[in-house]
Structure 1
Amino acid sequence: MTGLLLKNVSKVYKEGNEEVKAMDNVSLSIEQGEFVAIIGPSGSGKSTLLSIAGALLHASTGEVIINGTDIASLSEKQLSNVRLKEIGFILQTSNLIPYLTVLDQLLVVKRMTGSVSVADKSFARELLTELGLGAKLNNYPSQLSGGERQRTAIARAFMNNSSIILADEPTASLDSNRAHEVVQLISKEVKARDKAAIMVTHDERMLGYCDRIYRMEDGLLKHVENHQASV
């Protein structure tokens, strides 16, 4: 089943009297259980694509379909609900809340959508244990390594059982060993939990964990055939 579908999406910005196309007629389909990478130079449109896929930015033209719903027609309140319930974000830095424990970093996500149940607490512990953080549940971010903080952020992205995972340069602040560990864990969770996932990255060493690879340049998206990436 298709989790995320972009159909002929363009994004145009005005700079003075000129129009700049950050995205130019981009189409992309990602099935549940697929982990797709997007590479390309700075300013190529990668962040714009991720923002549109994440319901953070409106497309100028085209359709953005999440679980069968074209989000272009939704109100701001409805879009906020889509971001909260349907999309898990993993950013360049973990962006953890300093005064919350590792377990509470996940539970606060559930509090945003209502109350926290016993099942929610159990699921949070399950996620954190799967990601090697079972012994760190009561630790604060300042007590974690960089890799542990990013793993906590991965668990948080999966906490609402979102159908789509969007990772923006998730290894930017990590050394090579931690970077491989983090992307491998994202890939594993995407497969195990049947999510549709996009990773924007400059680090081509991570591409071996992905099912498909696309290159974005000058707002155009092209599938990369037979990319040689080592894991």
Structure 2
Amino acid sequence: MKGIKFEKVSKHYQEGDRKFTALNNVSISVQPGEFVAVIGPSGSGKSTFLSIAGALLQPSEGNVTINGTSLANLKPKELAKLRLEQIGFILQTSNLVPYLTVLDQLLVVKKMKGSITEEDKRFAKELLTEVGLGDKLKKYPDQLSGGERQRTAIARALMNDPDIILADEPTASLDTQRAFEIVELLSTGLKARNKAAIMVTHDERLLKYCDKVYQMIDGELKLLEEVQSAVR
């Protein structure tokens, strides 16, 4: 099965004599072409959820599969390979390398897998043109606006053509207008490329761009159908 699936996933931490549950029996499935939002207050478990989805953290219970492969069966090197090839991350801040040009921000992702080909360069330019940065290829991060830096980060997340995109508060550092532009770009771009995408956000104004909205409270995930109908 393509996409990402959580099956009764829990994550527990031991704090002295007390066991703290960050995720509690979470089940969710996101298919290719779906753009899903997860909202909730700070400390509700969103970061833990995203870390497990990104194969950065192992669950205490339950199972996570990506494209039908159970993450529980993979060794550390296999997990690292899966993260590089099948998961694209978009973070709160763009996390661009200050001494690399916009084009090289994408090409360095390919460099991590080996040599850079002419096809890689063509694809990088295609992605940057799609996000409106075709005329910024030789610019450095400090020459870009906040919105342009985040557009670069979106293109970089797609550089290895991953099946799963995970966005952690991708508009946190942007004003309202730029935030709408970035999430609209995410929604249309990911659907066009048939990616399964999950966005964690505090900004409920952005939910109209998503197919489904879930709420995380005290480690439990609930589908908010009423939010779905309200924003459509």
Equivalent position of 2:57 in the other structure:
57
Give the secondary structure class of the aligned counterpart of 2:182: helix
Equivalent position of 2:193 in the other structure:
193
Alpha-carbon distance, 1:51 to partner: 0.2
Where do 5+ consecutive residues of structure 2 fail to align? none
Amino acid in the other structure paired with 2:81: N
RMSD of equivalent CA atoms: 0.9
Give the secondary structure class of the aligned counterpart of 2:160: coil
Equivalent position of 2:160 in the other structure:
160
Amino acid in the other structure paired with 2:149: R
Q: 2:141, 2:210 → 1: CA distance?
A: 29
**1:42 aligned onto 2:42:** yes
Equivalent position of 1:229 in the other structure:
231
Equivalent position of 2:90 in the other structure:
90
> Is residue 101–residue 140 contact of structure 1 (8 Å, CA) maintained in 2?
yes
Number of aligned positions between the proteins: 230
Paired-residue identity, % = 66
Alpha-carbon distance, 1:189 to partner: 1.3
Encode CA deviations 1:108-163: one digit per residue, 9 max, x unaligned. Answer: 00000111111111110000001000000000000000000000000000000000
Equivalent position of 2:73 in the other structure:
73
Residue correspondence of structure 1 range 111-122 to structure 2 within 5 A: 111-122=111-122
TM-score w.r.t. length of structure 2: 0.98
Amino acid in the other structure paired with 1:229: V
Q: 1:189, 1:83 → 2: CA distance?
A: 20
Alpha-carbon distance, 1:73 to partner: 1.6
Equivalent position of 2:106 in the other structure:
106
> Is residue 204–residue 229 contact of structure 1 (8 Å, CA) maintained in 2?
no
Equivalent position of 2:213 in the other structure:
213
Give the secondary structure class of the aligned counterpart of 2:226: coil
Q: 1:66, 1:115 → 2: CA distance?
A: 26
Amino acid in the other structure paired with 1:115: S
